[in-house]
Amino acid sequence: MTTHDHRTAEDAEALTARLTLDGVEVPFAPGETLLEVSRRHRKDVPTLCYDPRLDPFGGCRLCVVELEGSRNPVASCARAAEDGMVVRTTSETLEGYRKTLVEMVCSENRQVDVDPLSGYASQELRELADRYEARTGRFEGKRSGRSKQDDDNPFILRDYDQCISCYRCVRVCAEQEGDYAISVKGRGFDTQITVEFDGLLKDSACTFCGQCVQTCPTGALADRKALRHVDTPGEIEKTRTICTYCGVGCSVDVLTKGDTMVGVQPAMDGPANVGALCIKGQFAYDFVQHEERLKTPLVRGDDGELHPTTWEVALDKAAEGFVKARDEHGRHSIYAIASGRAPHEAAYTTQKFIRAGFWSNHVDNCSRA
């Protein structure tokens, strides 16, 4: 029996627990998994069924590490770190084992190279295939899964030929969304991800939050709206911003190719949402580049209709009306309403326009309706 077994729980808390990671002693926090400790120390342990936001699952076994005293390698994503452990994250045996696993997974899938527009995690399998040079077709043969191409919902492509049964979608739906819209049917090789009664997502509890799409590591579930832009020329660029809809203020990355908005992905490190989004933030973005956008200033002509004009003319006309009202009816005859949708700078300048311009407090915003 080693000495630390005699310590009380508080003692153990007070002392920093340590383990040996690839020959170096490192501290860890209570509750950390071997994978978390390894990642914190920049060990490149591969994973497939792992999503840091979800409960440990331990299905794909790619994350295996060698643990002294244990006959078989252990799944590091599901194993809690313990004081005194001796862990190796890489070795010839481990790499060989991992390569075989990736080869098997790849051989079951129709396509490994899916477009990055498919979803946030969609490149994970592709990257592993590159890393392990796993496109050998060694296990070519029967393919699992079946695509559900008759689900014509405009948001989520369901291509189960690409499914590797990591259950990340099912788990994100249940654990993060609490929606339980999709579930696992069958066992082993016949396993399939399905919705109730094999039906359409529309008829299920699905809220089209897109979380399953964003966590899928193969593109089996993919962002159908973004994929409309596969052929749009240009590299995908990401710009971090905040969702424009409700007051939760979810962080998102806007995906662009050149000057075109091609999609939205959740920011996994967003302070208010930690990767979560709803249907509006995820899919309702294309109003921005909609053809009906107002593109020029308009002023009302003598015919009573609104006509396009230049900024100069429109701004002069706008200012003229306020000056006239002030001169004829006094400074209290002018009122401004600021937007609850536009940024601070819009509301700030609007209230300053009234306070610095007409010395009154005749300003409000739309929170009253």
Residue closer to ligand SF4 by CB (options 136, 239) is 239
Residue 105 · residue 125 · CB < 8 Å: yes
Dihedral sign, Cα of residue 74, residue 80, residue 85, residue 88:
positive
Q: How far is the CB of 42 from other proteins (least distance, A)?
A: 22
Largest alpha-carbon pair distance within the chain? 96
17-21 and 86-88 beta bridge pairing: parallel
Residue 87 · residue 22 · CB < 8 Å: yes
Alpha carbon distance 345, 325 (integer Å): 25
265 binds, among ligand FES, ligand SF4, other proteins, none (CB under 5 to 8 A by kind): none
Q: Which of residues 322-341 bind other proteins (CB under 8 A)?
A: 322-326, 328-329, 332-341
Q: Which of 19, 35, 85, 243 binds ligand SF4 (CB under 6 A)?
A: 243
- Interface with other proteins includes 39 (CB under 8 A)? no
Residue closer to other proteins by CB (options 71, 344) is 344
- Interface with ligand SF4 includes 210 (CB under 6 A)? yes
Rounded to 5°, angle at Cα 221 from 141 and 40:
95
- Interface with ligand SF4 includes 115 (CB under 6 A)? no
Strand segments, DSSP code E, in 178-259 are 182-185, 192-195, 221-223, 236-242, 251-257
Q: Which of residues 126-155 bind other proteins (CB under 8 A)?
A: 153-155
Q: Which of 208, 283, 285, 358 binds ligand SF4 (CB under 6 A)?
A: 208
C-alpha torsion 10→12→15→21, nearest 10: -160
Stretch that binds other proteins, among 64-72, 102-110, 128-136, 357-365 (CB under 8 A): 357-365
- Interface with other proteins includes 203 (CB under 8 A)? no
84 binds, among ligand SF4, ligand FES, other proteins, none (CB under 5 to 8 A by kind): none
- Interface with other proteins includes 214 (CB under 8 A)? no
Residues 292-311, mask of contacts with other proteins (x by CB under 8 A): xxxxxxxxx-----x----x
Query: Could you tell me which residues are beta bridge partners of residue 183?
Result: 194
C-alpha torsion 167→170→171→173, nearest 10: 150
- Interface with ligand SF4 includes 151 (CB under 6 A)? no
293 binds, among ligand FES, other proteins, ligand SF4, none (CB under 5 to 8 A by kind): other proteins
Q: Which of 42, 287, 302, 303 binds other proteins (CB under 8 A)?
A: 287
DSSP secondary-structure letter at 16? P
What is residue 37's three-state secondary structure?
helix
Query: Could you tell me which residues are beta bridge partners of residue 231?
Result: none
Within 13 Å and on the Cβ side, how many CA atoms surround 274? 7
Alpha carbon distance 18, 27 (integer Å): 4
Query: Which residues bind to ligand FES, rule: CB under 6 A?
Result: 47-50, 58-63, 75, 77
Q: How far is the CB of 112 from ligand FES (least distance, A)?
A: 17
Alpha carbon distance 368, 326 (integer Å): 26
Stretch that binds ligand SF4, among 38-46, 89-97, 117-125, 273-281 (CB under 6 A): 273-281
Q: How far is the CB of 89 from ligand FES (least distance, A)?
A: 12
Query: Could you tell me which residues are beta bridge partners of residue 67?
Result: 87
- Residues forming contacts to ligand SF4 in the complex (CB under 6 A) are 172-173, 177, 179, 181-182, 201, 206-212, 243, 245-246, 248-250, 273, 277-278, 280-281
